[in-house]
Chains A and B, each alone.
Chain A
Amino acid sequence: MKLQKNIILYMVMAVLSISFAMAQNQQIQGKVLDESNKPVSGVTILNASNNRALTATKDNGEFTVTVPANTTLIFRGIGFTERRIKINVNQTSLTVRLSATDNQVEEVVVRGYVARSKEKTTGSSYSLGEKDIKDNPAINIESLMQGKVPGLNIQVNTGAPGFRGSTQIRGLSTLSTQGTGNESILMPTSPLYVIDGVPMDADRASEFGLQQQGPGISPLSLIPPEDVESIEILKDAQATSLYGSRGAYGVIIINTKRGNSEVPRINYTHSSFMRSIPKLRETLGGNMERNLKLLQIYTNARTQGELDKIMQTPSLADSLNSYFNNSTNWQGLFYQNTFNQNHNFSMDGGNQQLSYKANLNFYDETGVIKNTGFTRYSSNLRMDYRPSRRFEFVGQVFAQLGKMNKGDGTGILQTGVASGGQSSTLLPPPGFFTASSDYVAAIRTRNDNKTKLIKPFIEAGVEIIDNLRFRTTLSYELSSGTEEKFSPAASSGQFSEVYAFNNRYSQFYSRNNLNYSKTLKEDHDLFFSIFNEIIHVTNQNSVITQRRTPNDQFEGPLGYDGYFSSGGGILSFKNEKALSFAFAGNYSYKSRYVLDLTYRLDGSSLNGFENLYTKNPSIGLKWNIHREDWIKGLPWINTAALRGTWGVNVMPTATLDRIYGKYNIYGNYNQQTGIGIDSYLIPNPDLKPTTSMQYNLGFDLIILNNKIDIIYDTYYKRTENLYQESYLNNTTGFSTLSSNEGGLVNYGHEVSLRLRPLKGDKFFWMLSVNGAYNRDVLLQLPSIFNGQLIRWDGSAAKQHILNRVGTHAFSNYVLVNRGVYATDADVPVDPRTGLRYRTPDGTFFQAGDPIWVDQNGDYILDDRDYTRSGSAQPNFIGGIQNEMSYKGISLTIAASYTAGRTIFNNALAERMRLLANPYGLQSVVPLDDLDMWRQDGDIAKYPNAYDFSRAGNINPLRNDQTLWEENGSYLKINQVSLAYNFDREFLKRYRLQRFRVYATMDNVYTFSKYSGPNPEGVTSLGRDLSNGYPVPRGYALGLNLSF
């Protein structure tokens, strides 16, 4: 719509400028530039006296107007702040600098695939532009958005190249978890990404949790950030309801750049960057390790046998043996500093009739863990053709290839590296005669992962009659992910093995859209849109593993030995067909009062029979106060608006086996193979879809000549019919019922404040601060649980999770630690039995042991002493951005913060537990910096880690205690960039349009009280994985070149 208007506008302006040229008065030649001295085309120049458009700037930013002296000209360009300049007598030239509008209100936004003026939309959304994500080479655009959008919680919790962190809009939306122990995470509920008008499921690669299968390359990692023009984050249900069930977790709209230069333009962006090893664990090397282990045994042994065991432990006793006489830095063998590069080349050109652009990107990053890395080849070609104002046609092709090397790990988890790095320093380094299997596995495993994606997209639009436009869109995405992995014999029990994974994903997408817009009697604006969507998604993952293959030289093709092979099969498959119909209506009176109504019907083959179509209604109201006449008396108010919305997003929770049940082969009946129903899950065709209802209230305020920009939102989101398995009485023959009885509430406040105190031609300063408070409350659980569900963690970590109605949806359920017993006399004695507090096996607690609260008062520490403690979901998130420029120099600082959450420092627990077995072949770490109990009377925080003899009975460093719960708040300086823009006149000599150099530091510093390495590097349930992939620091040097 907007473009159409522009065309008409240009025509009118062209005619007008000719007619004004007749009235010869004073000719002025000039140029319009932006803050970075780039010419701005298409800026409308109006005569302020009659508000008539005179002309518009050309592509090189130049313009010519002829006006009488003392005329005031208005320069108005989309995305720029309006400027008024008075023409002096005899003035013939003029250079105008426009500053970009950063305010969120005056923009054009996309709603339900149609561009609308933001002033007339009622929903809550936030926009980011190209400049918000520049100057930092990154694989994934999400990490660049961190801290920049109020209410968008992005945690970059893995440094593994090509993998995503976690992304949530407005708190929790699920009660489901994946994985166990350290590796348990929330079921990812990423927002729906709409890339150039086509929805994309960003969680696609994460269906297997942290134990990633296959290449695991997120489709988001295939989009180069340099190609992104704008990002819009839709938060409330009014904004997302037109996207239906897939938009229930919020919507993020990403538009790539389009051609908009009459003269063909070539842009080249390059950066060379270094990723540095994060701080590794301090380790005692060589003889210090041996001495510490011996001293530990001498001072803590309780039996003669424990002392005698030294003699049977050659690494301790035989210090002259050259095999045990080393000081190997194992961690150093696995980590490296890496030098990487990123090239982005784009070409664009065209005019209103035909424009084109091509973007080519090459990104290569080697991981800080050896033998890992990510390479991206991406191309995005687009052509827009508008032969007349009635007809338009768009063709676009994405072709992307991501290559990933995961080494021996699963990408996010690098278990082999973690255990290999803990090897005793006494052992010899890998050499010609010896090889540690962990080392060989990590370094020599050959791993070839590829994700190939091709996505053609065509769109055609026609204006059937005036104001009625029909548009049809078709896209077909085909992606294939393969992993081939060859593990050499030395890495796994002297037999090589191969593993192959194959994923095939396709998405057919079609949309037909009919829009009608009309202005009645000048004051009444009407807009209607109806569209339908057809989506067909197929997905299949299959895998094959063969163990004990012939040798390291022969990698295939291989035969099959049924005995040794662990075979393979289809891990998961999906075949979803979805059909949707949507209606959107918008009415506004004098742009003052806006009413939005939308309704969407979503049908999916994944819904239960009884609920085939889900209904997503929404309503929104907005009052643009600044349009009122009475506000004109307050010139310091630029924009003031109040918004209120209500909407519902309904999302299917059913899967084929939840509706139909699962059938399996169960033995023979009368010599016939019998097929019976799996009695684990009873089929439930009545399974209801999850309903997410949201109220949003907000106001927008821009005051003092756009110097201060405030956006405030508050919301109440009630998610009901959440999926939660419930138990059945065993007399039913089935054990589990798919139930919909989960309910969850999120409520919170979001504020964004943007200050532009200095906006001169030379000096510019902008400071934005945003913050969001979110609180989640569990509303209900299936009635059988009676208000409380404990998710027992079956792994060794035993960090259980508690869901209790009325509290945080996810709380930890662990032992409460109150310090360390300073002396034996501090251990409580049961007044009845006279016995000291003890473990179930009868080991009495003593000085140096942790004080665990005996909740049930039986003076025995066991599972009944667990209690509810902290929650890993943050209450506060936000960020700060500071941008300053003086002439060509600019400085950008971006920071993000997360506060009000509890995380488990499992890494420290594991580090201290290394001392539990001094006879073993693990490294030891210095504990001098820890507040640990060492002798009688010490008031300490950490229990005695050296007491190895009783460690098996007491387990003082167990994970399931509040000792490891720490405040997970942090403030992270995400990025510091310094850029210099060369002077245009200087560049002209070299026929360059633009030349900019920059230096950036990424992941600069994290301020936190957390005692572990990185409070952000934890899972979405707040577990600090010691076998995770650390987030490295980056240093980049880069340049932008246009000619």
Chain B
Amino acid sequence: MKLSNSIRLMSVLLGSCSLFAACKETFELPADRDFISENITYENKVIQPIIGRDNIHTGLLLDNSTLPLKFEIINPRYGDGTPYTDVFQKAPTYEWIAEYDGKEKSLAEIEAKRHLVEKPYFEVDDYGRFIMYGSSTNETVAPRPADTVVKTQDVRFFDLKVSNSGGFQIIKDLQLIPWRQRDYSPDYDMNPYTGGVAPDPRNPKDPSKREYLKPSWFSNIIGVNSNTNLKNDDKQTDLVVFIRRFEGGNGKSLRFRFLNPDSTSINPAKFNETKWDLLVHGFNKQMTSEYVQYDVAYPIPLTSIRTDYNSGSNARVVFKYSRTGMGGTLTYGEMGLDFRIFKPGDWEIVFMFRRESPKFEDE
């Protein structure tokens, strides 16, 4: 009897305990899930990268959605509905594995800090950045039409599926409208639609005239005939620059040349104050009476980190010379160019004095 009473009491207590425990299951509490905002989108949903350059399109507006998120490009199609795959083809592209700091002593040392990986021409990375890789070319990815009219069937549309444990959102109708390949910068001597020569902005209708690249700055360079400062302005263009490929290099060379109006070379040694060893992050300098040439790693500059060779995201070259000016003072002439070159190859940068040669002689 006593035992059964104990059992009865125990069963009452145990029963109530299990009842308490069961109640917890019926709470129907919301789950601890990530937050994903309905308002997740991009600042700019039209992506207009330039083919042949590494382009990173950022501007994801998270609206405080919980990270990490998973991104997936879905439903790629032209404006007329036909699907496309060309931008998803894979090609080798460089990826940094260590920080380039501008103090590397050889090309091999630079190359050890990056390696080639297979990447599609266009992708979204794990963090929602759209990347068009520099491995793309006009041939592999069709640029926008040369006639400047972008019709809807020329536009690559796609949707982006963004998900985390809180669910998913689809960002609709992102547009990819790539610009034609331009392998160097500044590139205002090139027509961005056709890839041809840009017309002279002062006489755009005159096919016999063209636009030229100009140095970023030059100063105190005196014409040998006029004995006045050379200048680039609305009336005259004294000094122009060409960034162009040349034949006969080793595939990784960069050459600087200086031309008189008659296309004869100026000996680079005449720019006697130039710091040739700090001009570009190049090696194996070859200095001839016609040019100075280095072996370099492309693209130039490799990164936008501050080095002796760049200014922000551009490489910077400065050519300088000194001469005795009027009254016996030492004067310095200087010209400089901020530039970038995206594709590897043999490139030369040519400074051409169009009207008259500079005066190197002392007064």
Contacts of A630 in B (CB 8 A): 5, 8
Indicate if B30 sits at the interface (CB-CB under 8 A). Answer: yes
Are A633 and B303 closer than 8 Å at their CB atoms?
no
From A747, A777, A779, A855, contact of B68 by CB (8 A) = A855
Contacts of B305 in A (CB 8 A): 834-836, 844
Interface of B is mostly: loop
Question: 16 new A-B pairs (CB below 8 Å) besides A640-B9, A832-B54?
Answer: A631-B9, A634-B2, A634-B9, A637-B9, A699-B13, A716-B24, A779-B29, A786-B38, A788-B64, A832-B125, A833-B304, A834-B96, A834-B99, A835-B303, A857-B126, A857-B129
Contacts of A806 in B (CB 8 A): 29-33
Are B31 and A633 closer than 8 Å at their CB atoms?
no
Indicate if B58 sits at the interface (CB-CB under 8 A). Answer: yes
Show 6 residue pairs from A and B whose CB-CB distance is below 8 angstroms, ordered by the A residue: A788-B37, A807-B32, A829-B96, A834-B100, A857-B128, A857-B129
Are A745 and B16 closer than 8 Å at their CB atoms?
no
Q: Please measure, in the bound complex, the distance between the C-alpha atom of A787 and the C-alpha atom of B33, giving whole angstroms.
A: 10
Q: Please measure, in the bound complex, the distance between the C-alpha atom of A699 and the C-alpha atom of B10, giving whole angstroms.
A: 13
Contacts of A780 in B (CB 8 A): 30
Indicate if B74 sits at the interface (CB-CB under 8 A). Answer: no
Q: How far is the CB of A469 from chain B (nearest CB, A)?
A: 36
Are A834 and B67 closer than 8 Å at their CB atoms?
no
Are B23 and A625 closer than 8 Å at their CB atoms?
no
Contacts of B54 in A (CB 8 A): 832-833
Q: Known contacts being A716-B27, A857-B125, is A786 close to B13, with CB within 8 Å? A: no
Indicate if A927 sits at the interface (CB-CB under 8 A). Answer: no
Are A642 and B58 closer than 8 Å at their CB atoms?
no
Indicate if B220 sits at the interface (CB-CB under 8 A). Answer: no
- Of all A-B residue pairs in the complex, the 4 with the closest CB atoms, nearest first, are A857-B127, A834-B303, A806-B30, A788-B35
Residues in chain A within 8 A of chain B (CB atoms): 625, 630-631, 633-634, 637, 640, 642, 695, 697, 699, 701, 714, 716, 745, 747, 749, 777-780, 786-788, 790, 804-807, 824-825, 827, 829-836, 844, 855-858, 864, 866-868
Q: Known contacts being A630-B5, A831-B95, is A697 close to B29, with CB within 8 Å? A: no
Are B31 and A697 closer than 8 Å at their CB atoms?
no
Q: How far is the CB of A1033 from chain B (nearest CB, A)?
A: 41
A623 nearest CB neighbor, chain B only: B12
Are B20 and A697 closer than 8 Å at their CB atoms?
yes
Q: How far is the CB of A824 from chain B (nearest CB, A)?
A: 8
Within B54-86, which residues are at the interface with A (CB < 8 Å)? 54, 56, 58, 60, 62, 64, 66-68
Are A697 and B16 closer than 8 Å at their CB atoms?
yes
Are A867 and B67 closer than 8 Å at their CB atoms?
yes
Indicate if B108 sits at the interface (CB-CB under 8 A). Answer: no
Q: Please measure, in the bound complex, the distance between the C-alpha atom of A625 and the C-alpha atom of B305, giving whole angstroms.
A: 80
Q: Please measure, in the bound complex, the distance between the C-alpha atom of A663 and the C-alpha atom of B163, giving whole angstroms.
A: 46
Q: Known contacts being A777-B29, A867-B67, is A697 close to B23, with CB within 8 Å? A: yes
Are B304 and A831 closer than 8 Å at their CB atoms?
no
Q: Known contacts being A630-B5, A631-B5, A777-B30, is A832 close to B131, with CB within 8 Å? A: yes
B21 nearest CB neighbor, chain A only: A714
Contacts of B97 in A (CB 8 A): 829, 831
User: Residue among A829, A833, A866 with the most chain B CB within 10 A?
Assistant: A829
Contacts of A825 in B (CB 8 A): 98-99
Contacts of B243 in A (CB 8 A): none
Q: Please measure, in the bound complex, the distance between the C-alpha atom of A745 and the C-alpha atom of B24, giving whole angstroms.
A: 12
Are A697 and B127 closer than 8 Å at their CB atoms?
no
Q: Please measure, in the bound complex, the distance between the C-alpha atom of A825 and the C-alpha atom of B100, giving whole angstroms.
A: 11
Are A856 and B62 closer than 8 Å at their CB atoms?
yes
Q: Please measure, in the bound complex, the distance between the C-alpha atom of A280 and the C-alpha atom of B24, giving whole angstroms.
A: 46
Are A790 and B16 closer than 8 Å at their CB atoms?
no
Contacts of B6 in A (CB 8 A): 634
Are B1 and A633 closer than 8 Å at their CB atoms?
yes
Indicate if B254 sits at the interface (CB-CB under 8 A). Answer: no
Contacts of B304 in A (CB 8 A): 833, 835
From B23, B30, B56, contact of A805 by CB (8 A) = B30
From A642, A777, A804, A829, contact of B35 by CB (8 A) = A804
Contacts of A868 in B (CB 8 A): 66
Contacts of B68 in A (CB 8 A): 855, 857
Q: Please measure, in the bound complex, the distance between the C-alpha atom of A834 and the C-alpha atom of B104, giving whole angstroms.
A: 14
Are A831 and B96 closer than 8 Å at their CB atoms?
yes
Q: Please measure, in the bound complex, the distance between the C-alpha atom of A787 and the C-alpha atom of B129, giving whole angstroms.
A: 26
B305 nearest CB neighbor, chain A only: A835
User: Residue among B9, B24, B62, B95 with the most chain A CB within 10 A?
Assistant: B9
Are B9 and A856 closer than 8 Å at their CB atoms?
no
Q: Please measure, in the bound complex, the distance between the C-alpha atom of A864 and the C-alpha atom of B98, giving whole angstroms.
A: 25
Q: How far is the CB of A1009 from chain B (nearest CB, A)?
A: 26
B126 nearest CB neighbor, chain A only: A857
Indicate if B149 sits at the interface (CB-CB under 8 A). Answer: no
Are A867 and B66 closer than 8 Å at their CB atoms?
yes
Are A858 and B129 closer than 8 Å at their CB atoms?
yes
A844 nearest CB neighbor, chain B only: B305
Q: Please measure, in the bound complex, the distance between the C-alpha atom of A867 and the C-alpha atom of B35, giving whole angstroms.
A: 11
Are B67 and A634 closer than 8 Å at their CB atoms?
no
Q: Please measure, in the bound complex, the distance between the C-alpha atom of A633 and the C-alpha atom of B125, giving whole angstroms.
A: 74
User: Residue among B16, B35, B125 with the most chain A CB within 10 A?
Assistant: B35
Q: Please measure, in the bound complex, the distance between the C-alpha atom of A747 and the C-alpha atom of B12, giving whole angstroms.
A: 23
Indicate if B330 sits at the interface (CB-CB under 8 A). Answer: no
Q: How far is the CB of B71 from chain A (nearest CB, A)?
A: 10
Are B128 and A856 closer than 8 Å at their CB atoms?
yes
Q: Please measure, in the bound complex, the distance between the C-alpha atom of A714 and the C-alpha atom of B19, giving whole angstroms.
A: 11
B38 nearest CB neighbor, chain A only: A786
Indicate if B302 sits at the interface (CB-CB under 8 A). Answer: yes
Contacts of A805 in B (CB 8 A): 30
Are B5 and A634 closer than 8 Å at their CB atoms?
yes
From A633, A790, A858, contact of B64 by CB (8 A) = A790
Contacts of A701 in B (CB 8 A): 13
B133 nearest CB neighbor, chain A only: A832
Q: How far is the CB of A639 from chain B (nearest CB, A)?
A: 12
Are A856 and B303 closer than 8 Å at their CB atoms?
no
Q: How far is the CB of A326 from chain B (nearest CB, A)?
A: 44
Contacts of B29 in A (CB 8 A): 745, 777, 779, 806
User: Residue among A625, A749, A788, A832 with the most chain B CB within 10 A?
Assistant: A832
Q: How far is the CB of A435 from chain B (nearest CB, A)?
A: 49
Q: How far is the CB of B180 from chain A (nearest CB, A)?
A: 22
Contacts of B58 in A (CB 8 A): 858
Q: Please measure, in the bound complex, the distance between the C-alpha atom of A831 and the C-alpha atom of B20, giving whole angstroms.
A: 55
Are B98 and A829 closer than 8 Å at their CB atoms?
yes
Q: How far is the CB of B286 from chain A (nearest CB, A)?
A: 27
Q: Please measure, in the bound complex, the distance between the C-alpha atom of A968 and the C-alpha atom of B32, giving whole angstroms.
A: 23
Q: How far is the CB of B59 from chain A (nearest CB, A)?
A: 10
Q: Known contacts being A630-B5, A832-B131, is A745 close to B27, with CB within 8 Å? A: yes
A853 nearest CB neighbor, chain B only: B67
Q: Known contacts being A829-B97, A856-B127, A867-B66, is A633 close to B33, with CB within 8 Å? A: no
Q: Please measure, in the bound complex, the distance between the C-alpha atom of A943 and the C-alpha atom of B126, giving whole angstroms.
A: 29
Within B15-45, which residues are at the interface with A (CB < 8 Å)? 16, 19-20, 23-24, 27, 29-33, 35, 37-38
Contacts of A831 in B (CB 8 A): 95-97
Contacts of B166 in A (CB 8 A): 787
Q: Please measure, in the bound complex, the distance between the C-alpha atom of A868 and the C-alpha atom of B165, giving whole angstroms.
A: 14
Are B20 and A714 closer than 8 Å at their CB atoms?
yes
Q: How far is the CB of B200 from chain A (nearest CB, A)?
A: 36
Are B67 and A856 closer than 8 Å at their CB atoms?
yes
B29 nearest CB neighbor, chain A only: A777
Q: How far is the CB of A263 from chain B (nearest CB, A)?
A: 47
Q: Known contacts being A855-B68, A858-B58, is A699 close to B16, with CB within 8 Å? A: yes
Are A714 and B23 closer than 8 Å at their CB atoms?
yes
From B27, B96, B302, contact of A747 by CB (8 A) = B27
Within B284-329, which residues are at the interface with A (CB < 8 Å)? 302-305
Contacts of B12 in A (CB 8 A): 625, 642
Contacts of B303 in A (CB 8 A): 833-835
Q: Please measure, in the bound complex, the distance between the C-alpha atom of A684 and the C-alpha atom of B5, giving whole angstroms.
A: 60
Contacts of B64 in A (CB 8 A): 788, 790, 866
Q: How far is the CB of B3 from chain A (nearest CB, A)?
A: 9
Q: How far is the CB of A855 from chain B (nearest CB, A)?
A: 4
Contacts of A807 in B (CB 8 A): 32
